[in-house]
A and B are shown apart, each in its own frame.
Chain A
Amino acid sequence: DIQMTQSPSSVSASVGDRVTITCRASQGISSGLAWYQQKPGKAPTVLIYAASSVQSGVPSRFSGSGSGTDFTLTISSLQPEDFATYYCQQANIFPITFGQGTRVEIK
């Protein structure tokens, strides 16, 4: 299986901060990466697909980049509603796998 390793596991940040989360794949996955946001007790929602395409309805402060093995999710100016856990996911190589998650906490 492709191992997806996110870093950091958690980050403390303030409203207005720029936050960057990294996801590294154990093998190259081209641009086959998606990012999700999950709030407590809720299902994940997709933010980014194809590494850098923003899902319809997602605020423009969210962006994604990368290809191959290294990917980044950036929140340009953290808002109160962005405190959540973020997951990356690949489907380039079977089976579909997720990263372990990155919790974004209030500083």
Chain B
Amino acid sequence: QVQLRESGPGLVKPSETLSLTCTVSAGSVSSDNYYWSWIRQPPGKGLEWIGYIYHNGNTNYNPSLKSRVTISVDTSKNQFSLKLSSVTAADTAVYYCARDRWVTTGLEYFDYWGQGTLVTVSS
């Protein structure tokens, strides 16, 4: 059973950079046909896809966040990471990492998720 776990600061100051890491166990970030995603959910609201990375380093970001997002992968540690710069209170959310299973072009879904970590942006 693949497991994902997010780690990182729970409190970030406005204008600073949010940094989170997702550690994958019982599975490999180097597996073919899987992307590794970050998704967030503001308190009491819906889900927003942030972006994903493939093991070769190829990335794809939500255009709404693209100018502030960087996702990277460390295959030696079986981890992938998120950096979100210039944060504001609107970035306060539970951040999830998830495995994105690619079935075919235009057909992919998130089959494993981390438990989520709340990041609050406040001074």
A1–B49 Cα gap in the complex (Å)? 12
Which chain A positions have C-beta within 8 A of B108?
32, 91, 96
Query: By the criterion CB–CB under 8 Å, are A91 and B109 in contact?
Result: yes
Query: By the criterion CB–CB under 8 Å, are B103 and A50 in contact?
Result: yes
Stretch from A12-20, A39-47, A69-77 contacting the other chain: A39-47
Which chain A positions have C-beta within 8 A of B114?
43
Residue in A30, A46, A97 whose CB lies within 8 Å of B109: A46
Query: By the criterion CB–CB under 8 Å, are A89 and B110 in contact?
Result: yes
- Known contacts A43-B96, A95-B49; is-contact A49 B106 (Cβ 8 Å): no
How many residues of chain A have a CB within 8 Å of chain B?
Answer: 28
B25 in the interface (beta carbon within 8 A): no
Q: Which of B1-43 contact A (CB under 8 A)?
A: 37
A31–B98 Cα gap in the complex (Å)? 21
A36–B112 Cα gap in the complex (Å)? 11
By secondary structure, the A interface counts as loop
Query: By the criterion CB–CB under 8 Å, are A95 and B62 in contact?
Result: yes
A7 in the interface (beta carbon within 8 A): no
Render A13-37 as a binary contact track against B, CB cut-off 8 A, 1 for contact: 0000000000000000111101010
Which chain B positions have C-beta within 8 A of A42?
115-116
By secondary structure, the B interface counts as strand
Query: By the criterion CB–CB under 8 Å, are B49 and A101 in contact?
Result: no
- Known contacts A29-B106, A50-B103, A92-B107; is-contact A99 B46 (Cβ 8 Å): yes
Could you tell me the distance in whole angstroms from the C-beta of B53 to the nearest C-beta in chain A? 14
Which chain A positions have C-beta within 8 A of B109?
34, 46, 49, 89, 91
A36–B49 Cα gap in the complex (Å)? 14
Using a CB–CB cutoff of 8 Å, the interface residues on chain B facing chain A are 37, 46-49, 60, 62-64, 96, 98, 100-101, 103, 106-111, 113-116
Complex A-B: 14 CB contacts under 8 Å: A32-B106, A44-B110, A44-B113, A45-B113, A46-B109, A49-B107, A49-B109, A49-B111, A50-B103, A50-B107, A96-B37, A98-B46, A98-B49, A101-B46
Using a CB–CB cutoff of 8 Å, the interface residues on chain A facing chain B are 1, 29-32, 34, 36, 42-46, 49-50, 55, 87, 89, 91-101
